[in-house]
A = this chain, B = another copy of it.
Amino acid sequence: MSPDDGARKARFHYGGLERVIHEKARLGILTALVSERGGVAFNDLKLLCDLTDGNLSRHLKTLVEAGLVVAEREEDDGRPQSIYRLSREGRARFLEYLVELDRVVADAAPARSARRSRRPSARPGGAGA
């Protein structure tokens, strides 16, 4: 089997979906952070991602330990708060992850458009759930 055969045969192996990024809540956190280069405060992140204090803390710890996110203490009206942002490496790794996610979406695309074009004739009258 040539390397080319291998690539074709393993077409649905999405090795680029890095596990630490792919977890659902962390994917939300990273998507929130990628657009905010100035960083996002803990409390804002909690609302944006609809996470509890405990869950957000736990996931941020994982992301910081993985080198994807950095935390900084800042003053907000004299009160210290934690600001989180993507590290330079984190930004690069997340953008790589998104390229692999594009591949999943592209691989599924033919089935999605087939469904759209089949729907009207498959259910004459269009009634039902």
Interfacial residues, chain A to chain B (CB-CB below 8 A): 9-15, 17, 19, 22, 24, 27-29, 31-32, 34-35, 47-51, 91, 94-95, 98, 101-102, 104-105, 107-108, 110-112, 115
List the number of copies, as a whole number: 2
- Of B32, B91, B102, the contact of A105 (CB 8 Å cutoff): B102
Tell me whether A34 and B98 are in contact (CB under 8 A): no
Check B49–A29 contact: CB distance below 8 A. no
Q: Is the interface of A mostly helix, strand, loop or mixed?
A: helix
Complex alpha-carbon distance, A79 and B89, angstroms: 51
Provide a sorted-by-A list of 28 A–B residue pairs whose CB atoms are within 8 angstroms: A9-B48, A10-B47, A10-B49, A10-B50, A12-B29, A12-B31, A12-B32, A12-B48, A12-B49, A13-B28, A13-B50, A13-B51, A14-B28, A15-B50, A17-B24, A17-B27, A19-B24, A22-B22, A22-B24, A27-B104, A34-B108, A34-B111, A35-B108, A91-B115, A95-B111, A95-B112, A98-B108, A102-B105
